[in-house]
Amino acid sequence: MSDINRLEYESTLWAQGLSAVAGVDEVGRGCLFGDVVAAAVILPVGLVLEEVNDSKQLSEKKRDRLYDLIMSEAVAWSVARVEASVIDTINIRQASRLAMKQAVQDLSVSAQYLLIDAETVDLNIEQMAIIKGDSLSQSIAAASIVAKVTRDRLCVEVWDSLYPGYGIAAHKGYGTKVHREALLELGPTPLHRRSFLKGLFIEQQELF
């Protein structure tokens, strides 16, 4: 492991007899396109996954390998998605919280405690919001990897072919120059977040 003890929070809870500690995180919060995706992961007590870290700090190849490892080692895991139309209706923060809540509720093992990356969820389960939790907690980092790989695969394997011409497989829905230019040329798809586009394209609001 690195000089950061990513099991500090988990170890404290395990010592209290709480074995079902779920890490929770989301990805896609800043995208212009597509669902926000959340994951919840419960790892076995005492398990050390040395390479597990914030998904943003890992290469795609390493994320894919760690995704498979997490899937094989987890006591329970789940993924939930909230689509663009709901994001536009309730705002991205509430949509992210909703996705995380649904991920926790869908776990096959009931979580006794939640470690969440910089958020809280509306559930009657003890929880802790940890700033930069995906770098500080192994469980949250595992959830960030599961959510990131899931969303990236949706971009590459589903959404890119469903909506060709936008470069979704490459930029994963983020507001890159290529993506913005495609939006101006082709207009938005049903999976674009209209509330995000109106703030980005002030002079072209009528398009969105």
**pLDDT one-digit tens code per residue, 158-191:** 999 999 999 999 999 999 999 999 999 999 999 9
Q: What is the pLDDT of residues 79-109, one digit of tens each?
A: 999 999 999 999 999 999 999 999 999 999 9
> What is the number of domains present in the chain?
1
Q: Confirm whether 74 is domain-assigned.
A: yes
Q: Does residue 179 fall inside a structural domain?
A: no
CATH number at residue 12: 3.30.420.10
Range of 100's domain?
8-163
33: DSSP letter = B
Structural domain includes residue 87? yes
54: DSSP letter: -
Structural domain contains residue 176: no
Q: What pLDDT shows up at residue 205?
A: 59
**145 touches 55 (CB < 8 A):** yes
102 falls within a domain: yes
Considering the domain boundaries, does residue 39 fall inside one?
yes
Question: What is the rounded CA–CA span in Å between residue 155 and residue 149?
Answer: 10
Kindly report the pTM of this predicted structure.
Answer: 0.94
